[in-house]
Structure 1
Amino acid sequence: MKTKLKTLAALAVLALSGMAQAQSASASAADTDALVAKGRYLAVAGDCAACHTATTPGAQPFAGGYSIESPLGTIYATNITPSKTAGIGSYTEEQFARALRQGVRADGQHLYPAMPYTAYTVVSDEDTHALYTYFMKGVAPVDTAPQQTALPFPFNIRASMAVWNTLFLQDRRFVPDAALSQEVNRGAYLANGPAHCSTCHTARNVLMAEDHAAFLGGGPLGAWYAPNITPDARAGIGSWSDAELLQYLRTGHTEHAQAAGPMAEAVEKSFQHMEPADLKAIVAYLRTVPPVAEARQAQPATAFGKPRDDEATQRGAVGPNERKGLHAGAALFSGYCASCHQANGAGSQNGLYPALFHNTATGHAQPANLVAAILYGVDREVDGHHVLMPRFDQQSQVQPLTDEQIASVSNYVLARYGNLAVEVQPRDVAEARAGGPRPLLARLQPMILPLMVAGVVVVLLLIAFLVMRWRVK
C-alpha cells in the first residue's frame, strides 16, 4: 500500500512539474510575442523599413540595397535581417545596441550617420531589447548581401567617423523632464529618438553635423527642403492647429500642405501606422520646442496668394509657330498644371489636387519644394489610397521639361498664387535635378587629396632644408 502511495505521489509530482514547465514555456512564448510586437512597433516608429528595404519589385523587407543619395556620395543600406551570412543574425544584443546607438558594427567598422544613430542613441535599454528581439525573431532572414557603400576618398575612411563621433555624438539615453507632462515627454522621446525628426529638419554645419542652435529650424535635404517645424508663428508651425498637424502626420495632406519626397515616405512607412496617442504626443512636444525665426519669411507660408484665372487672356496670345511658346510660364501652366489644379489655382473640389495659394510649397521663402515637386512629382500611399502627381524630369511619363521651362512655370505659379519675393532661376532647377545643393565638404572633396599631397611635399622639403642647414653648420 505504501509503495502504491509513493508511486502515486511521484506521478503527481511529475504531473505538477510538467504542468509548471508547460505554463512557464507558455508564459515565455507570450513574453517573446509581446516583445516582438513592441519591437515591430518601434521599428515602424523608427521608419527602419524605408531605408533598409529596396524599392525594386520583389525586394525583401529589411534586406538592404536602398540607395541613399547623400551629399558625399551614394550610401547603400545594409541587410538587417537575422541572416547569419548577409545580415545581423550573428549579432549579440550588445553588438546590436552598439550599432543602433553608437554607430559601430559588430566587426568594429563605423557606420555613416545616414543611419540616424545620433538620434537612436536616446532609445532606452528596454526598447533596444524589444527591437533586437523583433529583428531576430520577427523578421525573415534573407541571405543576400546588398551592394556595398564605396564613398570617394577621404570619406571612404570609416575610421574617421570615430573622430566625428567624439565631436558630435551625444551618447546618452532619454531622461524625462519632470517639469513636463507625461504626454510631452513621450513626444520628446519619439521625436528625438525613433522618429529622428531632427535628422532632416535641422540644418547641418560644415562637418555635416546637426546645428543644434537652429534645432528643428529646417534645412536642405537633397533636392527637397525639410521645413521649420518649431512653433515660430511665421516660419514654423505656430499658425497650424493641432488638428492640422495630426492630419498631416497621419495622411501627409492638409488644406495647406502636402507631403512629398522623404516626408511622403515617412508618412507612408511610419507615421500613418503609429498610435494616435503617440502622434498627439509628438505634436504636443513640438509646441514646446524653442521657436526658430527666419528673416526671409515675412508671414506664414499659408498666408500667401489668392485664386486668379489668366486662362481667357492667354488663349491665342502665342502664335502656333512661336518658338518660345512652350517656354512661357502661362502656357506651361495651362498645358501641364491647370487640368488638375484648375485654371484659377484653387485645386479640385474634393481636395485631392491641392490649391496653389495658401500653400506651404508656394508661400515659403525657400522654393526648393515647389521645384522638386515639379521635377520628381508626389507619390505616397495612405490608407490604401494612392496619391500621385506626375514628375516632369527626364523620367517623366508625361513630358520631360527643361530647366528653363520648370523655372518659368515655377515663377508663374509664385507670381500668381504664392510668394512674390521668390524667384527661381534655371540654375536652381539644374541644382535640384543634380540632387540639391552641395555642402562645402562635398565641394572640397576633389581638392582634398591634392592638398594632402602638397602638404606632405611641403613637410618633406622643410625637413630637407633643415637637414641641409644642420650639415652646413
Structure 2
Amino acid sequence: MRTLLPAILALLSTIGIARAAPPAPDQTLVERGRYLAQAADCAACHSAKGKAPFAGGLKMNAPVIGAIYTTNITPDPETGIGRYTEQEFARALREGVAKDGHNLYPAMPYPSYAKVSNDDVSALYAYFMLGVKPVHQANRAPDAPWPLTMRWPLKLWNMLFLEDRRFAPSPDKSLEWNRGAYLVQGLGHCGACHTPRGIAFQELALDDRGSQFLSGAALDGWFASNLTGNATTGLGKWSGEDIARFLKTGANTHATAFGPMTDVINNSTQWMSDKDLAAIAVYLKSLPASGAPTAPAGTVDPATMAHGAQVYQNFCVACHLPNGKGTAPWLAPLAGNPNVLEPNPLSLINVTLNGTPALVIDGIPAPYPMPAHRHALSDADIAAALTFTRNSWGNHAPAITANDVTKLRQQTGNDQ
C-alpha cells in the first residue's frame, strides 16, 4: 500500500493541475476578433510608424487640448491592457473609461463603438488578449498644460453627448442595409472623421437620423469627404459597385484615396469581405444628399486661371492629362472628382503640399502616389494651380488663395 501511495498522490496532483489549467483559446473567436479589429481599423490609430502593432504612441492633434498620443492596447500587463477583464475592456471601448477609472479623450471613437454588440466585444477581447503580441511600451502623456489635462470634465461630456446603447436593426430595412449601417455607424466609426463636430468636439449626428451625418468634416489639416448622396461633393454619382471597389482597392473611376484614407484602405477595408463591403455600399447609397452647396460659376480671376494653367502644364499634366481625366484607377481623375469640388479645400492643399502615402493592396504599393510639392512650388503657385483645377473641365468651386496655402504649410510643417 505504501508503494502505491506516491503514485496515487502523483495521479491526483496531475488531475488537479489538469482541472486548474485554463481552457485552450477558441481560435475561431480569436480570428473573428482579428477580422473585427481590421473592420474597426484599430491599427491605424494605435500603431505608430516604425513601431510595433497596437503599441500606441501615434500623435494626434486635438482641438483646444493640443497633441495627444494613442495608447498601448497590446496585452502587456504593465503598459498595455493585459490586466483588463472583458467587462473593463467593454467599458473602455463603449464608454471611454479606462481600467483605473480615468476618462479617455473622445478622439477615441467610443461614441461609435457604443453600438458594438456583446458578441463582437467578446471576439475583440479574445483577439487582443490572445492574438496580439504583448509589447512593453509606456504610454505618453498629452502635450498640453494644466488644467487642459484634467479628465473629470469628460464625465460631463459623456453625460451630454454619449449615447450608450447598442445598434438596433431597423425592421423596415433589409438585412444587408442593417449590416451596412452597423459597420458604418459602429465598428467602422466613419462618423468620427466624416461628420462635422460641434464646439465641444462632439459629432453633430451619430447616425442617419441627423442631417449632418457623414456630410464631410475638417479634421487635423484634412477634409474628410462627404459620404452622402450629394451629386457634386458626395457619392451621388457613384454606384454601389463604385463604393465597394473604392473600399477594396482605394480607387475607382471617380477618385483615388489619399491622405489619412490610405491608412483606412491599407489597414482595414481591403481586408473586409465582399459581402460586408457590399452592405456598406447599400447603406451609404441610402443616405440623402447633404453638405455645403457649391459656388456659382464665373467668379474666378482670369489672371489666376492663366497662372494656374501654366503650373498645371508644368507639374500636373503628365499624370492627370490635359483634360483632367487622369487614367483611372491608377492616376486620379480631377474632372468631376468630389474632392476637387468640395468647397473646403483643406485636403487639396494638404495633398499638394505634402503628397500622400502609397496605397498598398495585397502587399503591392501603388506605382504613382501623389508626390509632395511643398519645396517645388510657392504658395501662390499652388493656389493658382488648384483654383485652375477647381474651375476647369466642367468643375466649379471657390478659388483658393495663397494665404490659404500659407496657413496649412505652417500648420503641417514636416509632420505629414
Q: TM-score, normalised by structure 2?
A: 0.85
1:120–1:196 contact (8 Å) kept in structure 2: yes
Aligned partners of 2:334 and 2:230: how far apart in 1? 23
Aligned partners of 1:40 and 1:161: how far apart in 2? 30
1:239 aligns with 2:255: no
Partner residue, 2:135: 142
1:37–1:134 contact (8 Å) kept in structure 2: yes
RMSD of aligned alpha carbons: 2.7
Partner residue, 1:392: 373
1:365 aligns with 2:333: no
Aligned partners of 2:191 and 2:383: how far apart in 1? 30
Aligned partners of 2:334 and 2:286: how far apart in 1? 30
Aligned partners of 1:337 and 1:235: how far apart in 2? 22
Q: 2:162 aligns with which of 166, 169, 186?
A: 169
CA apart distance, 1:290:
4.2
Aligned partners of 1:85 and 1:293: how far apart in 2? 45
Aligned partners of 1:342 and 1:293: how far apart in 2? 29
Partner residue, 2:3: none
Q: Which amino acid counterpart does residue 382 of structure 1 have in structure 2?
A: I
Rg larger in 1 or in 2? Answer: 1
Q: 1:407 aligns with which of 370, 374, 383?
A: 383
1:102–1:171 contact (8 Å) kept in structure 2: yes
Q: 2:33 aligns with which of 39, 56, 64?
A: 39
**Offset from partner CA, 1:139-164 (integer Å, 9 cap, x none):** 11001214322334443111111111
2:216–2:291 contact (8 Å) kept in structure 1: no
1:62 aligns with 2:78: no
Aligned partners of 2:331 and 2:92: how far apart in 1? 42
Structure 1 runs, 4 residues or longer, greater than 4 Å off: none
Q: Which amino acid counterpart does residue 242 of structure 1 have in structure 2?
A: G
Figure out how many residues of one structure are paired with residues of the other and give that number: 383
Q: 2:190 aligns with which of 184, 192, 197?
A: 197
Q: Which amino acid counterpart does residue 33 of structure 1 have in structure 2?
A: Q
1:217–1:229 contact (8 Å) kept in structure 2: yes
Partner residue, 1:304: none
Q: 1:112 aligns with which of 99, 105, 113?
A: 105
Q: TM-score, normalised by structure 1?
A: 0.75
CA apart distance, 1:232:
3.6
Instruction: Flag structure 2 segments of 5+ consecutive residues without an equivalent.
Output: 1-10, 298-302
Q: 1:284 aligns with which of 278, 282, 294?
A: 282
Partner residue, 2:214: 216
Distance 1:65-1:329 versus aligned 2 partners, 3 A rule: same
1:64–1:77 contact (8 Å) kept in structure 2: yes
Distance 1:421-1:181 versus aligned 2 partners, 3 A rule: closer
CA apart distance, 1:264:
1.6
Instruction: Flag structure 1 segments of 5+ consecutive residues without an equivalent.
Output: 1-13, 300-323, 394-398, 437-473
Q: Which amino acid counterpart does residue 52 of structure 2 have in structure 1?
A: Q
CA apart distance, 1:137:
0.7
2:233–2:338 contact (8 Å) kept in structure 1: no
Partner residue, 2:5: none
**Offset from partner CA, 1:270-318 (integer Å, 9 cap, x none):** 000001101111111123334325333779xxxxxxxxxxxxxxxxxxx
1:229 aligns with 2:227: yes
1:235–1:292 contact (8 Å) kept in structure 2: no
Q: Which structure's residues are more often helix, by fraction?
A: 1
**Offset from partner CA, 1:374-404 (integer Å, 9 cap, x none):** 01213221223323111123xxxxx443322
1:234–1:298 contact (8 Å) kept in structure 2: no
**Offset from partner CA, 1:92-117 (integer Å, 9 cap, x none):** 11111111000011111110111100
